Each structure stands twice: as structure tokens, then as C-alpha cells.
Chain A
Amino acid sequence: MAKLHIEPKQSEEGEDGAEFQVVEDEGILAWDADSELLVVGQSYPRLEGREKVTGRARYSSDVRLPGQLYARVLRSPYPHARIRNIDITKAEQSPGVHAVICAANVPRIAWYEESVLFDATVRLVGDEIAAVAAESDELAQDALRLIEVDYESLPFVTTIEEALRPDAPKVHDGGNIAGEPTTYERGDPESGLHEADVVVTGDFETPCALHNAFESHGCTASWEGDSLTLWDSTQAIFVVRQQVAEKLKMPEHRVRVIKQHMGGGFGAKQIPWKHDVIAALLSKQAGRPVQLLLDREAENMAAGNRNPTRQHVQLGAKRDGTLTAIVARIEQSAGAYRTGGEASNVSGTYQTLYRCPNVRTEQTAVYTNTGPAVAFRAPGHVEAAFALEQAMDELARALDLDPVALRRRNYAEVDQLEDKPFTLPEGLRLSYDRVTETFGWGERTAQPADSVKRRGVGFAAHDWSGGTGHPPGYAWIELNSDGTADVVTGTQDIGTGARTGLAQVAAEELGLPLANIAFQLGDTATGPYSPVSSGSATQATIGPALRAAAADVKAQLLEVASVVLEIGVGRLSVRDGRVLVDGDTERAIAVGEVMQKIAPHTLQARGARAPNPADMTIRTFGAQCVELEVDTETGEITVLRIVTAHDCGRIINPALVDSQVVGGVTQGVGFALSEERIVDTRLGIVLNANLEEYHVPTVADVPVIEHARVGVPDSAANSTGAKGIGEPPLIPTAPAIANAVFDAIGIRFRAGPLTRQRVLAALAARETNGSGEADS
């Protein structure tokens, strides 16, 4: 029996819901740097690799059920309008159509704060108005055209600037300020600025970036009596289950959510979207399974983005580089709705990355008539790093200090928000060391002979509040009578390789080879609760729960072995599928052989994620160096080399960690150089909601990315010593690139991305007025 403690929950501001938390202690010692691990630390190929490369892996979009219908959603062509009337009769009579739903024939289902599923007011181009399920996708599209909608167009705003004007059209009745602005202050920022020898000030702007995961959003819904099954491309099967059940007024146990494989989510799939419920409603009405996949346009209009920001930043420092003040005023666009999953704490890194006694951040979110923002790989931190890390670079130059030296001088040994030590306080320092050594920071780059091309190097650091893992999260293990094990969790592998990294933890603790583990996840009906796979949390949340379950099973196994071998448990251990006897190698016996003795009995246990340490703060850190070349005539930027180091605690599987690093940095290159949603301010339309004009980097744009692994276990963080790596690599890339561009050509780009348009305009402006500042 697990030892449960029920404690009042430390309520976070404004949070409602559960009032108590269940605390379960794993009661096992953390693996530390001296632990001799056999399976953990090895680059095993992905467990599902063979399935994927042979095309057998079934993604949510591959689901084909007997009688399945295909759905399409009618979306608003107006950025802001009232719907006077909708007529679906013609669509209902269209060939092959089995269901048409709109506000008139579905219950009012609350969505996005005070709005509803099919609202009478549409607030963005792409807002959902009605939906059709038909025998083919084409027939569904044909029927969509037959829906007649009478709109009353309303005035709208698409930019932060417009939204904040006193006479601006209101996105919501309550005005354009989304939620309560947040202010944080410590010390006395004014006197901090006053006592500074140097103050740098800058206005920065970050673009709206679109997630564009390989696999777009979508699900398939199927009813069996009163029970609903959803195959959903989601990062959070249990959240989808809970929310869909709530919206449809069903008990949770009648909703099953399945997600086996996913082509990425990057945060956009961490919340349930309207299409989950729309598919379920259509399927109910049609009496047949319904598949609803969003196309690229739809997802890029209405299913999430990285919020654009404006950041006014001031840094004050003494001549020796000691920071005396950090002040940031931040405005961000939430889009038309707050989804509840935007998690964009832009202020955070200003408060924590550097030691500074005087800090103030003010953060205001505004509504605009554009797609709603949702978390995007390291939300908030990516945006903030672009500004803060460029401002630090400016400060270093103003003080004539090396940018890395400036950062080392302001090293934060403790979490200044809560005055607690970090679980691995040297994490950032180790990242600085590894990245600068590997890159050869400080060695001057040779300029090419062609004086038109200028080379530069840039540096940026980051911290990240994610990667920590947290309770609750559970795992079940059953050791079979042949010595193999079934390992079950309800977490999800969103394309990161989580299956493999987690199975390695279970195998290690059980003392079994990885091949003897069958690992199951991604199904609410067969696995225990696991939280959303966001915040780089999956490994650090579920890994310790698996270890706890495995330790329990192992203890049971040793008891059995002790009886079978007639040797005290104290002399027994398990390794690589064999029970070993201390001091007597001859008597080692295969786990399967032990289990045969008690067959058909099996050994089972559950494990729960223990709480994080109360008196310490877990954080992930990192730093990046970039070398690039700027063509001063054509504005072309060629990134030559990126070296990156991250403290993600113990590296469970080096190949998988490297692949997260390469993917993250690649996304950072896109954020720096080419990715930007373009909205026509007079039409409210996203002009590049596709992969043709929204430019994600190609292989030709991405340089060699070298991961200078840190790999020091963070044993105070959790029992595996591993933290997350999914989000961090992207955070410092854009500012490191912008800093390298400054190094190369002496122009500071405070608005991104650094397209030809921006680079050439800045070069031309310098020609005419000699300034080293780029307009936005």
C-alpha cells in the first residue's frame, strides 16, 4: 500500500479547483553521479523507430473506422462581426452530408472565458461558425459552401498598438486589456538606475510565430452507446478527456482519449481545442465516426501562435558590470481570446536570470482580432530572451566587457523570487564553460577576403522555469512470469522519443535489458493519470514515478529470489536480467527463472511522482554561441556554426537529447531569421497562413549544430536526476544570432525576424544617416 499524505494545496493566485494535494513519497534514493547505470545514459534508438520508418505507426490522422465521415469547419471571413443569421438547410441536403451543426442546433457550450463554442460574435478571421460531416472531405467542403451566413461586420484591431488606443474598437465588451496586468518589483529599480554608471535602454519587438508542427491539429471521434472515444493529436490526453467530458456534460470514465504517435505539438496541442468537441457533436448527430483534421490555413489562423510582444527594457550597471537595475515593460497580444494555455510569462527571465537587487517588470496582455495565442516552446522566455540578451550585449559593449564575463559577474546563485537555492546552482556556470570552450569563444573570427561579407559571433544565455517535472503522475508495472515487464503510464510521446527515455528508466531500476520491457502510453483507458506533456516535463515527471514502481517490483522480486535461492535479500541484486548474489557469481539466476517458480503469479506495483523539494528551486539553464556571415549588399545572413550547452540534469539518452537540441535550435534559427505571421491590418487576414510564405528554415538554412553536453545529474531535483530539454535550446538562439549580426555589421536589430527587408532597410538607413539602429 502506498503511503498517502493529504495536504492543503498551496493555492496559486487566481487558481481554483482542487483544494488539497496528495503527497506520495517515493522513498528511494536519487541516482547520483556515482551510480553505475547500465541502460540509462545509452543512446538507444527510439522504441517506435521501426514502426515509424516503415510507415506502420498510426497517427491520429491515420485512423480509419468503418463508416467514418470527414468534417470541415466553416470559419469567419471577418475579423470581427455579429452573425445575424445562419441557414444550414442547403448544406444539410447536400450529397453525402450526415451532419451539420451550428449555434442553432447544439447546446451552448462555454468556451474561451465568456464566449461559447459557436458564438454569435466572431472575433477573428478563422473563428468557428458551423461544421459539416460528410462521406468525404470534398463533399464536406462542397456542403460548407452552401451554408448561408448573414454577417454584420464590426470594427476591429489587429496590432497591440491599435488595441491600446483609447478609442480602439473593443474586441470584448470589457475592453482590450486581457486579464489583469502583472507587476513585479524587488528593491528599488529607480535608485538602481540612478546609481548605475551605464544605462542601456531599448524598445524591442518580437514577431508572432506560428507552431506549424509537422502534423497539423486533428482528431477522430467515435461513439459506442454513451461512450466516446477520441483519437486526438494532443499533448494532453487526460486534459482533453476531462475538458471534453465537462463540455459535453458526461462522466469522465465515458470518454477515452488515445494518442499513440504525434508529429509535434510545440505547445499548441497542450489544450483541447474546439475541434475536439465539434467532432464529438458531429459524430453524435451523424451516428458515425467523424474525423476532423485542420488544414494548415485553419490551424495557422485559429489554433495558436506565439504571442507578439513589445518590450521596453532598461538595464543599469556599475562600471565593473555589476547590474544595479533591470526594468522591463512588456505588452503582448493574446489574440482574440485567452485560451488558458498561453503560459507566456515574458517577465520571468528578467526576474531570475541575473543577480540583481532592483528589478521591476510590468506585463500587459491585450486582445486583438487575430488568432488566440497559446504556449509555444518556452513561451515568454523566447520572447524575453530576444530583448534581454540583446540588451546585455549592448551593456557589455557599453562597458567594454566581454559579454560572457558580464554574465558571469551577475551570476545568480539563488532563486531571487523565493530566496531559495537552486538544486544545481552551478548549472548555468557549467553551460557557460562548456559552450565557450567548445566554440572557442574569444578567439577572433577571421574576416573573409571579400569585404562585402562580414563575419560576427554572438552569445546568449537563458534560464527556463520548465523542465522540472511535478506531481501528480503515475506508472504501473507488471513483471511477467517469463521475466519480461509491462510498463504502463498515461503520459504521451509527442514525437520527442519520451517512450524510449522513460522505458530506459524503468529498465534500469528493474535491472532488465530494455528489450524485455513493453512500454505503453497514450491511452486514458489503459494507463494511469499523467499530466500534459508541456514545460519539458514528461521525463522529469514520469521518470521518477516509473522508478518508484520499478523499485517496488524489484523489491518483491528479490524477496521471491531470496526464498528460491535461500539467500538473504541483503545479498541479492538485479542487473541485466539476472538476479546476482553478492560474493557468489556462480549462483546468479535469470529473472525469468525466478518468476517461473511462482508462475502464474506475477509481481505488480504502482509508482507516483513525489513532490519537488520545498526548500529549493529546480531550474534549467543554458547558453549558446553563434558564428555567422552577413552579406552587406544583399542582406543575406548565413549562419555558419551554433554551439549550445544546456543543463538538463542527467542525460538519459544522449541521441534523444541531441535531437531535441537540434530541433529547438532549428526553430530558433527560424524565429531569428524568417518566421513571422503577416496580418493585413486593414482586412484582418493572415496572409501567410501556409508553409509557402511562412518560412520555416530548410536544411540549407541550418548550420552544423554542436551540442556541448553538460550532463551533470541534478540529484536534488528528482530521483532520476534528469530535467527537461525540449524547450531550452530554442530560447537563446535568436538573441545570439542578433548579437552576432551586431558583431558583424554594427547594426542592432530590436525587431525580428532579421529578413532581407529589415537588414537591407537598416543598411540603407545607415548609408543615409550613419546610425547603427534598425527601425522595426
Chain B
Amino acid sequence: MKPFDFARPDTIAAAVALLDGRDASRPNRSALLAGGTDLLTLMKADLYAPELLIDIKRLAELDNRIEETAEGLTIGALVTLSQLEDDPRIQSLVPALAEAAALAATPQLRHMATIGGNLLQRPRCWYFRKPGIHCWLKGGDDCPARQGENQLHALFDVSPCVAVHPSDPATALLALAASVRLRGAAGERELPLAAFFAPPTDERRQETVIGNDELIVSIQIPAAAPGTRSTYLKAMNRKVWAFALAGVAAAIHMDGNRIAQARLALGGVAPVPWRAESAEQVLTGAEPSPEIIARAAESALASAEPLAHNGYKIPLAKALVRRALTRLTAPAFPGA
């Protein structure tokens, strides 16, 4: 780890001002420190060397609360994954998020990890995480994973980088139509999650469009039609404490015995949380049946382009999609 300065601003404005000092030619000048569970590992591995750490964990103005209003839920950027896991409103209104939080990392990490930091965590690609490998995402010329050990990598080829986005909550939030509220030098803006995450490009080698001077203030989950059901399923290489080989979040609103609205998102399959719109179309208006569900699952993975070692993720993700949908459309759904 390289030496760095440390600041603990009292207001969001002061934090943004410190961020604002960032010089584009020195992209490592400052970084926000929340739970530190990702940032500090990156710094220890010399993958990231900010000169100034801006500690926002105790910033009173930045919320660590979950609020329910008529519009929906507001989740402060500092809310931890264990809060999301345990909160009765999250559990009853948006169970997919509670489940995704509960399946992430370990209890110790969930106590420290904030939702803001979770959305901005960097890929776990094992080439990326090796200090000695200067891969494309780190500004290099090529991606060793494409021809290498890519069993954990992406099925959807939408960027020079084939790392998968590691967040479980992000997949759930995408299915819940959430948006992110950002504050920067130019003021505040709100972006739907689908726009906030964007596959890295040559000009922007990161997984989101957050500006250099912006911080996440909160996450908004719009109130869904009453009776909307949601769930998150995750497949790992062991029972707990592993990143998703595939994750599936689904939110379904039933109108009688038809699916009025369906939102489906996949994790562990693309550089960003992946919305399966074609599958949603298969489901919308349909009467749920094993055939419809199977068709939706096929459709969700139809454009997958497996690499040499990750083809197994296709049947895996399909199985999770079928399971999630079967669960949510069951007549005897708990609480239905």
C-alpha cells in the first residue's frame, strides 16, 4: 500500500469538494472510503493508490437509514448489507434484495459493507486482481481471460472485458427497477440502475457511469403494484462465501392468473448486472406454466456466447430462472 492522506468531511458538499479536486490526468487522486471491504483490498494489492482517502462512513448527512414513503423505498448509501438482510420492510416489500444481501459475502463482511460501495465494487476477475497483470480493464492492451481460465467469466460479450459484475444486491435492484441518486459538483441527478451500470469501453474502463466528482447519496426503489413478488437465487462453488457463478433476480406482478408485469435480471453473466428483457416479454401477459417458464429461461440465455470454460453457466442460469419464476408464480406463494 502506498502512503495516502486522510480526510473526514462533515458534509456531503465538503466531500464532493474534495472529490472535485480530482485531476483527470491523475485519476487516483482521491477516493471515497465507506466500509472499505473492497477499496482496502485493492489498495493493499497495489491495484489502486489514491493519494487522498475521504472517509464517508461517519458522514451524518449521508444516510444509513431505510425509509418508506408512498413513492417507495429510499436506501441511504451507507446502509449495510446486514441492515438490508434484516430489515422487515425490505424483507416484506422487496424480498429479492433481502435475499441477495443475505447470500453475499460473510456475516462479518456484511456488517461493514455498504450498499453504495457494493454497487461500485470492482470485478473479482482473477487476472484483474493480480497486481502483476496489466489487463485491458486496468489500462492495458488485452484481456488474458478471453483465452485463459475463464470459467468464472461472462456469457454475454458486450465489452472488451469479460469479467462479471460481482454484486448480488445490484442484480436484485435491477429487477426491482431501482435508481441511484448521485450528487456531484454540478448538483444532484438520478439514474436508473440500467443506465448507471454500463459495460466498460475503451474510453471508460469501469462498470458504471458515475462521474469523477460524484458520490452515491441513496438508492430509490419505486413502490411496486401491491402483491408484487420477488426473489433472488444464487449458485456458488460452495454453500456460502463465494461470488455468484450465476444469480437470478425476478419480480413478478400477477393479475389474476396472468403475469401482468415481470422483471428479470441475471448476475454473474456479464460485466454489468444483466436485464433479460426478451424473457420479460415472453412472460408479460402470459399464464404461467412450465412451458412458458422454460421458454422465458431459454429466451434469457438465447444471446449468450460462452467462452471456452464457462458454458456450464448457461444451463445453470436457465435452471435458476425456471426456479425463480416457478416459485414466484406458484398459486401457494407464501404471502400471496
Contacts and interface: CB of A to CB of B under 8 A. Distances in A.
Interface residues of B, number: 31
A77 interface: yes
A757 B151 contact: yes
Interface stretch (B124-132, B154-162, B259-267, B284-292): B124-132
B132 A695 contact: no
A700 interface: yes
Interface stretch (A108-116, A243-251, A657-665, A686-694): A686-694
A700 B236 CA distance: 12
Interface string B296-327: 00000000000001111001100110110000
Interface in A637-654: 638
A757 B144 CA distance: 20
B315 A763 contact: yes
A674 B312 contact: no
Interface string A128-151: 000000000010010000000000
B250 interface: no
Interface string B94-129: 000000000000000000000000000000101100
Interface in A617-643: 633-636, 638
Given A77-B132, A756-B235, A698 B241 contact: yes
Given A77-B132, A680-B144, A688 B316 contact: no
A701 interface: yes
Contacts of B177: none
Interface string B142-175: 0010011101100000000000000000000000
B268 to A, nearest CB: 11
A319 B235 CA distance: 44
A183 B26 CA distance: 63
A234 B279 CA distance: 57
A682 interface: yes
A697 interface: yes
A673 B149 CA distance: 19
Contact of B148 (A674, A680, A701): A680
Given A687-B149, A698-B238, A700-B239, A764 B126 contact: no
B173 to A, nearest CB: 23
Interface residues of A, number: 32
A755 B316 contact: no
B315 A760 contact: yes
Contacts of A196: none
B240 interface: yes
Question: Which DSSP category, helix, strand, loop or mixed, fits chain B's interface?
Answer: loop
Contacts of B144: 680, 682-683
A285 to B, nearest CB: 26
A682 B312 contact: no
A352 to B, nearest CB: 34
B132 A674 contact: no
B245 interface: yes
A695 B151 CA distance: 14
A449 to B, nearest CB: 15
B242 interface: yes
B25 interface: no
B1 interface: yes
Interface string A72-93: 0000010000000000000000
Contacts of A763: 315
Contacts of B237: 674, 695, 755-756
B235 A757 contact: no
B195 interface: no
A683 B312 contact: no
B299 to A, nearest CB: 18
Interface in A745-776: 755-757, 760-761, 763-764
A521 interface: no
B133 interface: yes
Contacts, number: 76
A763 B314 CA distance: 12
Contacts of B147: 682
Contacts of A695: 237-238, 242
A757 B312 contact: yes
Contacts of B238: 673-674, 695, 697-698, 700-701
A30 interface: no
Contacts of A635: 312, 316
B273 to A, nearest CB: 20
B319 A138 contact: no
A678 interface: yes
Chain A CB count within 10 A is highest, among B151, B235, B237, for B237
Interface string A206-228: 00000000000000000000000
Nearest to A669: B238
Given A687-B149, A695-B238, A701-B238, A756 B130 contact: no
Contacts of A40: none
Nearest to A691: B241
A700 B240 contact: yes
A674 B236 CA distance: 10
A685 interface: yes
Contact of A688 (B126, B310, B323): B126
Nearest to B152: A693
Contacts of A638: 239
B312 to A, nearest CB: 4
A357 B88 CA distance: 69
Contacts of B127: 680, 687
B312 A687 contact: no
Contacts of A761: 311-312
Contact of A687 (B126, B245, B309): B126
B308 to A, nearest CB: 11
Given A680-B148, A685-B133, A633 B315 contact: yes
A678 to B, nearest CB: 5
B133 A683 contact: yes
B320 to A, nearest CB: 7
Given A138-B1, A698-B239, A634 B320 contact: yes
B153 to A, nearest CB: 12
A683 B240 contact: no
B311 A633 contact: no
A3 B336 CA distance: 85
Interface hub of B151, B311, B319, B323 (most chain A Cβ within 10 A): B319
A344 to B, nearest CB: 25
B240 A698 contact: yes
A679 to B, nearest CB: 8
A634 B313 CA distance: 9
- Residue with the highest number of chain B CB atoms closer than 10 Å, among A633, A674, A685, A687: A687
Contacts of A688: 126
Contacts of A692: 124
Given A680-B148, A756-B245, A693 B126 contact: yes
Nearest to B1: A138
B46 to A, nearest CB: 8
A678 B145 CA distance: 13
Contacts of B130: 685, 687
Nearest to B311: A761
Contacts of B151: 757
Contacts of B322: 633
B320 A760 contact: no
B133 A764 contact: no
A764 B148 contact: no
Contacts of B312: 635, 756-757, 760-761, 764
A701 B132 contact: no
Interface of B: 1, 124, 126-127, 130, 132-133, 144, 147-149, 151-152, 235, 237-242, 245, 309-312, 315-316, 319-320, 322-323
Q: Which 7 A-B pairs have the closest CB atoms?
A: A700-B239, A760-B312, A633-B319, A687-B126, A700-B240, A77-B132, A701-B239
6 contacts: A141-B1, A633-B319, A687-B149, A688-B126, A695-B238, A757-B310
Given A638-B239, A680-B144, A693-B124, 12 more contacts: A634-B316, A634-B319, A634-B320, A680-B148, A685-B132, A687-B127, A693-B126, A695-B238, A695-B242, A698-B238, A757-B151, A760-B316
